[in-house]
Amino acid sequence: MSNIVKVAAAQLQPAFMNLQGCIDIAESAILEAGRHGAKLIAFPETWLPGFPVWTFFETGWKDPRHLQAYAHLTANSVEVGGPETDRLCEAARKAGINVVMGMNERDTRFSRGTLYNSLLYISDQGTILGVRRKLKPTHGERIIWGEGDGSSLQAYDTTAGRVGGSICWEHWMPLNRFTMHALGEQIHVAVFPDIAEHNMIASRHYAFEGRCFVIAMGMVLRRADITEDFGLPIDMLTSPSKTSDRDEFVLAGGSGIIGPDGRWIVEQKFYEEEIIYADIDLDDVSKGKLSLDTAGHYNRPDVFQLYVDNRRKDPVNWSVPMAASTEAKIQTVEKQTEIPGLIFKQ
CA diameter of the chain: 61
Catalytic residues: 45, 134, 168
pLDDT at 245: 52
Element (H, E) at 24: helix 19-35
CB of 276 closer than 8 Å to CB of 44:
no
Angle at 151 between CA 146 and CA 157, to 5 degrees: 120
Write a three-state SS string for 34-80. HHCCCCEEECCCCCECCCCHHHHCCCCCCCHHHHHHHHHHHHCCECC
- Domain 4-345 -> CATH class: alpha beta
Q: Tell me the pLDDT band of 221, cut-offs 50, 70 and 90.
A: very high
Q: What is the pLDDT of residues 33-44, one digit of tens each?
A: 999 999 999 999
Q: Length of the chain, please?
A: 346
DSSP bridge partners of 98: 40
Q: Tell me the pLDDT band of 242, cut-offs 50, 70 and 90.
A: very low
Q: Tell me the pLDDT band of 108, cut-offs 50, 70 and 90.
A: confident
Element (H, E) at 215: strand 213-217
